Structure 1
């Protein structure tokens, strides 16, 4: 088995303020691809070692699949090559403009041209992950980079505002919040309507009626945890079937 130093040598530690070019590895997807090919950790680690030019311990690969260690961007590319798949097949959803572009294999120049911006202005938006494009540029952004709703809302700096609306929706009269949420989240209002209704019902099932003592405290913690992750709950509801 690898030592702690061996494992830590494969751990990517981004510097403060650094935006990773790749979304995080999805441990379940990575393990599923390997298992579908019928390969062992040792076989895949050997192939990754060959692609990246230095050894990778099988225990490190196992730790990636368990989510206890995080591969670097270079290691993700090597792992994808070893598993005969695209990097995106092993990763979660992109959370930044940079990650969207990286997964599509576009250069900064190509992305800037596609959305109708100068290179410098687009590069600054990507570096800060702050989108301030016009209506036409925003439409082009969805055509070129295809950002998931969570990524777009985050790049527009409206995640906090969305969380407030979602918390009010699930704890109150949710139909009043369909239109305000739809103005922030780039999906059809009918989809927002269905998602808010389901979230409201899920929250209402966390019922504290008649409970006291430890049981009441446990339910209260569950309700608070639900509200703390309310935006994540929305993205789960809006995720396409089978994704």
Structure 2
């Protein structure tokens, strides 16, 4: 593959999380080759630097398209930008996933464009509770999305990891309740199930002296804790009426 070059003005723009397998799948479903995608990007979207090598670099995960490039690629592949984006985590990524312009979101929130763009640039969410609620309503964000966007996911993960590794869960039930607007009993039952699930990962009927088995059990426990937030939301959904 020859060297892939992009305009300096675009290469400095961070793009949203790109779903490379989805791009490959959508292109194949349309019966298009990388050369067809590159041609359409050049002819229809004013991207003279687009080449088959660039398309393959995107699809191979070597490069990620910028926001304008991703929007153009979605147009070529007859899909929404959201179909080419991994799970959005930031405000900017959620906006791009829905194909909205900054002006649209700013107007919906009653903000000027510059104050809104500052919200996107800030590393930490600084919006008020009213702004958070308005944003969640306009972008139709789920509760897990709101927790992630407002920077509370890691705090939640730490609480959950502590809760499932101890039999004294009540202090963590209270702390999770403060963090997430869910019914206390739902959180209590969810943490109980996660505790049981985590213990099940550690259980074994094989010899305690089996070093390989011990390492495997430890790895299972570590994997469970690494995905603890996903396990939490899945269990919450299962237990909701």
TM norm structure 1: 0.72
Answer yes or no: is the 8 Å Cα contact 1:170–1:196 preserved in 2.
yes
Matches within 5 A, 1:130-209: 130-173=124-167, 176=170, 177=172, 180-185=175-180, 196=191, 199-207=194-202, 209=204
Match of 1:111 among 95, 105, 109: 105
Distance 2:36 2:134 in 1: 43
Q: Which deviates more, 198-207 or 216-225? A: 198-207
Q: Give how far 1:82 is off.
A: 1.1
Answer yes or no: is the 8 Å Cα contact 1:96–1:129 preserved in 2.
no
* 1:66-88 alpha-carbon deviations (Å, 9 max, x no partner): 43432222321221111112211
What is the number of residues matched between the two proteins?
A: 232
Answer yes or no: is the 8 Å Cα contact 1:49–1:55 preserved in 2.
yes
Number of the residue aligned with 1:39: 32
Q: Which deviates more, 106-115 or 73-82? A: 106-115
- Flag structure 1 segments of 5+ consecutive residues without an equivalent: none
Answer yes or no: is the 8 Å Cα contact 2:82–2:99 preserved in 1.
no
Matched, 1:23 2:16: yes
TM norm structure 2: 0.73
Number of the residue aligned with 1:231: 229
Larger Rg: 2
Number of the residue aligned with 2:220: 222
Q: Give how far 1:96 is off.
A: 0.9
Distance 1:24 1:208 in 2: 37
Structure 1 pair 133/77, CA: closer, same or farther in 2 (3 Å)? closer
Matches within 5 A, 1:70-81: 70-81=64-75
Q: How large is the RMSD of aligned CA atoms in angstroms?
A: 3.8
